[in-house]
Amino acid sequence: MSVYSQPGIKSHYLFPHSFNSNQAEFKLDNDTMYYSNLRLAGLGDFRADSDLYNDMSGAYGKIRNIFLTSNGKIIDGLRQAHRYLAFSNLMNDNVHENCVLDRESKSQLGLCVDSDNKVIAVSGGGSNASTTNATAADARDKFLGYLPLHKCFPILASLPVLDTGSDMFPNLTIRIEFETEPLFSFKTQMGKIANDTPQPVLICDEIRDPAQRSQMRAAFQPVVWSSIEHDLVVIPDQITESDALADTASSKQEVDQKMLGFNDKYVSRVVFAKAAVDLGKNKAGTTSIGFGPYASYGGFKEVFNLRVNGANLLPGRGLQNKNAALMLLSDTYGPFGMNSMDNQLSIGSETQQNNATRQGGCRDHTTGASALLSARQNEKVGQLNYYGLSIEDKVQDLQVSFERTIIKNTATGKRHFSYGVGLHAFAEVRKALTMEGGKFMVSYV
C-alpha cells in the first residue's frame, strides 16, 4: 500500500537554506517526522543548446560529495558521488535504462540496436535526445534531473522514518558539494557553459498523525546497513616509457599497493573503476571522448587481484580476461547495461602495431568511420572495463595487485593504456546506528 493512501501525510518542497555555485545545504524542520524516501528534483544546470550532459552521469554529474548530518555529525555520506552514481546507472537492464533511468537522471544509456549490433537509435527520455530550445524559459526544467537519495545514503533504505526530535536527529541537514569542473557534467562545448545553476529542490513527506508518529517512534530498532566509501590507488603513467620502446617491443608495469581506507571495516562488495588521472586525456579539444572522466579504461594484457588479510582473494594470478572480469562484475552487482565490446580493448585487429585496421576508438581515441560500429559506439569501445568483487570480511590489510603491458605508441595521440590510472574503489562498508543516552551513534560493525 502506498504511503500516500494513508491520512496525515504532507509533502514538502524545500529550497536550500544556503546556496551558491559550489554548494547547497538543506535544513529539515525540527520536532518533525519524515518518511525516509527523500529525493532531489531540479538537479543539474541550465545550458546552451549545444551543451549535452555526459551520457553516463546525466544530471548526477553535478554532485561531487553529499552528506546527511544531524547536529553536524555525519549519519551517512558519499564522496566522489558523481563517479559512483554514474557506475550505478549502468547496473540496470536496458528496459529500465530506456524507460525509467534516462528520464530521471537525464543520462543516455538505454540502447536500441540493429541486427548487426549497431546503435541505431537512443531512447527519448534522456536530455541528450533533443537540445532544441534548451535555454528557453518554458523548456528549461525538462533538462533537470531527479535523484532518490537512498542511492547516495543507503541508510535511508533501512531506516523507515527520520525523526528530527531532540531525542533522535535534531538539526537534520543535507549538504551537497557541487562539481565545478564542467567535464564531469557535460560532453560538448565545455567552454561555453553559462554560470546558471538552478537551485535543486528537496522533496520529503511529513507524517502528521500523532498516533502514527508515536507508533513509529516506539518501534525504532538499531539499524545495520552498508554505506558506500571511497578510496584511491594511483598507477603511475608510462607515456615516456612507451615512447622509448622499439616498435615491436613491450614492457610490463607491476604495481602492488596497500589501500588503507577500508582497514578495520567489514567490507561486502567493492568495485574498481580505472579512470585517467589527467582529466585532459578524457577530451579532444572541448569535446568529451565517450564517457569522459567516468570511463573505466580497459588496458593491454591487464592482470588484477586483491590480497585481503594476507591471502589472495582470487585464485591464481587473478583476473586476466576482460570477459571474465565482466562476468564477475555481473555476478557481484547484477545486470550491467552496456553495448557489445565496450569492455574490450578494441574491435578488429589485435596486431600490436596495426593502427589502420583497428576498429573502435579505444586505442588512439579517433572516431572515424567504422564498418563495425556506429559513430556513437565507436569512441566508447574499451571504456567500460570494471573490476567488481565481493570480499565479505573484516579488512585488516588490503593490497591491490595490478599489472599491465606497455607497448610502443605509434599513433598521434597517447593511447590510454600508457596513461596514469586512478583506481577508484567504492566499497560497501557495514555500519550500525544505535541510540545511547538519548543520542544516536554511528559505528563500524
- What are the per-10-residue average pLDDT scores of the chain (445 residues)? 71 96 96 96 79 90 97 96 97 88 90 69 47 48 89 96 91 96 81 68 95 89 95 92 84 95 97 93 84 91 96 94 94 89 69 40 38 59 92 97 84 65 97 88 94
Number of independent structural domains in the chain: 2
CA atoms within 13 A on the CB side of 258: 8
Rounded to whole angstroms, the Cα distance separating 191 from 301 reads 36
- Tell me which DSSP letter residue 442 carries: E
Instruction: Tell the residue number behind the cell numbers 567535464, with chain if given.
Output: 183
Tens of pLDDT, residues 87-104: 999 999 888 888 899 989
User: Which of the listed residues 168, 201, 221 is the one where a domain comes to its end?
Assistant: 221
Rounded to whole angstroms, the Cα distance separating 125 from 142 reads 10
Question: Is 445 part of a structural domain of the chain?
Answer: no
Rounded to whole angstroms, the Cα distance separating 235 from 124 reads 39
Q: Are residues 204 and 305 in the same domain?
A: no
- Tell me which DSSP letter residue 28 carries: P
Q: Are residues 268 and 177 in the same domain?
A: no
Query: What's the length of the chain?
Result: 445
In the prediction, which pLDDT does 261 show?
A: 96
Q: Are residues 157 and 37 in the same domain?
A: yes
Residue 43: what are its φ and ψ, rounded to 5°?
-90, 130
Tens of pLDDT, residues 380-433: 888 999 999 999 999 999 999 999 998 876 554 445 678 899 999 999 999 999
Question: Is 441 part of a structural domain of the chain?
Answer: no
Rounded to whole angstroms, the Cα distance separating 406 from 321 reads 17
Question: Is 354 part of a structural domain of the chain?
Answer: yes
Q: Are residues 32 and 146 in the same domain?
A: yes
In the prediction, which pLDDT does 358 show?
A: 37
80 lies in which domain range? Answer: 8-221
Instruction: Tell the residue number behind the cell numbers 579532444, with chain if given.
Output: 284
In the prediction, which pLDDT does 249 show?
A: 84
User: Which of the listed residues 221, 244, 270 is the one where a domain comes to its end?
Assistant: 221
Residue 48: what are its φ and ψ, rounded to 5°?
-75, 165
Question: Is 442 part of a structural domain of the chain?
Answer: no
In the prediction, which pLDDT does 321 show?
A: 92
For residue 63, give the CATH number of its domain: 2.70.9
Question: Is 337 part of a structural domain of the chain?
Answer: yes
Burial 25-37 (b: 16+ CB within 10 A, else e): bbbbeeebbbbbb
Q: Which H or E run includes 335?
A: none
Q: Are residues 254 and 197 in the same domain?
A: no
In the prediction, which pLDDT does 375 show?
A: 53
Provide the whole-model pTM: 0.90
Question: Is 438 part of a structural domain of the chain?
Answer: no
Question: pLDDT averaged over the chain?
Answer: 84
User: Which of the listed residues 202, 221, 240 is the one where a domain comes to its end?
Assistant: 221
Q: Long-range contacts for 432-441 (Cβ within 8 Å, ≥24 apart)?
A: 432/222, 432/223, 432/224, 433/75, 433/155, 433/159, 433/222, 433/223, 433/224, 433/225, 434/222, 435/167, 435/168, 435/220, 435/222, 438/167, 440/70, 440/75, 440/168, 440/169
In the prediction, which pLDDT does 49 show?
A: 60
Q: Are residues 175 and 242 in the same domain?
A: no
In the prediction, which pLDDT does 95 show?
A: 86
